[in-house]
Amino acid sequence: MGIRGLMLGRTAEGLFWLFRYVERVDNLARLLAAAQRMAVTRLEVSESDWASILYTVGTIEEYLVRYQQVRKPDVINWLIRDEENKSSVRNCMSLIQLNARRVRTAVTEEVWEAINAGHISISRLIDRKISESDLSVVLSESRRVIALIQGMTNATMLRNEIFHFINLGAHIERADCTLRLLDVKYYLLLPSFSKVGSTFDNFQWNTVVRSVSSVGGLKMAYGTEISAAQILDYLILSRVMPRSVNFCIGQVSQSLNQLSFRGQRQPQSLKKSNHLLNGYLSSTADKIIDYGLHEYTQKIISLTSEISDQISVDFRFYE
């Protein structure tokens, strides 16, 4: 960085989006890994499972324009390699590289190397069409690359403004990813879906939780007899689960707090994230079910998106 204490709006934008794309790749890899696991452990393979990923990441319409039918190999190709898909792993990795070049001097050597090496490694792997047997290799390498970037960031970056924009980008994206998943799968948690009073034993939900975090974490928190309310609690309201919406927005508020200039008004984005924390995210699982889970997730998705836009205004990403 040049002038002490002066960070370009464009640099903040680069850092923010760099780490949104890092999370996005990780999330894609998780979703695909979970679906893959489901496909190999079930007797019948349902294309709707692969379709649901498309709904989750929000590209179902573009996909159908290109491929017309939902078939596993096409979905895999679309999500990982297709250049027409703005959020394919390939395009995300390019954007990660591009943004990294632009903010090169703001990140440590270790982070730069991790991104550079990761980009090269993944590009090589996805150069050719991915077969069934290649898929798990691609997915695990993607997760390894992202883990290294995240690890180096956590281990080597000073906790200054640079770090906080990174933290903002990562957690906005993470919250968004969890919410979208819930948004697509919410019907599985409706009371009518499971037998009244019985243990919630849904293979589908097991897989959903896997794509967000480890099942072990869920079991650790709630034991083996898990109800729909507990899953909601785990994914939305938990203050300790690193991918819960509440945790992520909490991180957003913390970083915005650190970025606030002493003696100046609180940025609008901080007001909004605190409002969300103290409002919708201070609820209980039962209240959410009463409110209507689908409506609830839609609301939070839109509020999170507002916070992201507000950040770009407050910190002059563009003007």
Partner 1 sequence: MSSATPTSSKDLFDEMFVSTGKPRNSYRDFLTWFEAQDPKVFKNKHRETSKIFRDSGITFRSNKSPSKDQLIPFDWIPRIISSSEWRFIERGVIQRALAINAFIRDIYHKQEILKAKKIPSELVTNNPAFLPIMMNMSTPSNVYAHIIGSDIVRTGPKQFYILEDNARTPSGASYMIENRDAMLELFPELFSIIKVRPVENYPDLLLTTLKSVSPQNDRKAVVCVLTPGPYNAAYYEHAFLADRMGVELVEGSDLRVIDGKVNIRSIRGYTPVDVIYRRIDDGFLDPLNFHRDSVLGVPGLFDVFRAGRVTIVNAPGTGIADDKAMYSYMPDIIRFYTGDEPIIKNVPTWRCSDAKDLSYVLSNLDNLVVKEVHGSGGYGMLIGPQSTKSKINEFRKRLISSPSRYVAQPVLPLSTSPIYKQGLLSPRHVDLRPFALVTGNSVTVTPGGLTRVALKKGSLVVNSSQGGGTKDTWVLEA
Binding stretches for partner 1 (CB under 8 A) = 1-3, 6-10, 12, 101-102, 104-105, 161, 259, 261, 315-316, 319
Q: Which is nearer to partner 1, 122 or 168 (CB)?
A: 168
Q: Which is nearer to partner 1, 21 or 112 (CB)?
A: 112
| CA triple 239-232-309, angle to 5 deg | 65
- The H or E element that residue 297 is part of is helix 293-314
Q: Which is nearer to partner 1, 118 or 246 (CB)?
A: 118
Nearest distance in Å: CB 101, partner 1: 5
Contacts with 44 (C-beta within 8 Å, 6 or more apart), sequence order: none
**Backbone dihedral region of 42: left (phi > 0), alpha (psi from -120 to 50 degrees) or beta?**
beta
d(CA 242, CA 246): 9
Nearest distance in Å: CB 316, partner 1: 5
Nearest distance in Å: CB 112, partner 1: 9
DSSP, res 1: -
CB 307 within 8 A of CB 172: yes
Nearest distance in Å: CB 266, partner 1: 14
Contacts with 160 (C-beta within 8 Å, 6 or more apart), sequence order: none
Nearest distance in Å: CB 172, partner 1: 16
Q: Which amino acid is at 19?
A: F
The tokens for 180 are 């979208």
The tokens for 112 are 């730069």
**Sign of the C-alpha dihedral computed for residues 16, 162, 149 and 242 taken in this order:** negative
Nearest distance in Å: CB 2, partner 1: 3
What is the Cα 129 distance to its own chain's centre? 25
Nearest distance in Å: CB 161, partner 1: 7
Nearest distance in Å: CB 87, partner 1: 23
Q: Which is nearer to partner 1, 72 or 271 (CB)?
A: 271
Q: Which is nearer to partner 1, 179 or 270 (CB)?
A: 270
Q: Which is nearer to partner 1, 1 or 301 (CB)?
A: 1
Q: Tokens 């980008």 sit at which residue?
A: 169
Listed as own residue / partner, the contacts of 54-62 with beta carbons closer than 8 Å and 24 or more positions apart are 54/78, 54/79, 55/184, 56/31, 56/180, 56/181, 56/183, 56/184, 57/27, 57/28, 57/31, 57/87, 57/180, 58/180, 59/85, 59/86, 59/87
Q: Which is nearer to partner 1, 26 or 161 (CB)?
A: 161
Q: Which is nearer to partner 1, 3 or 158 (CB)?
A: 3
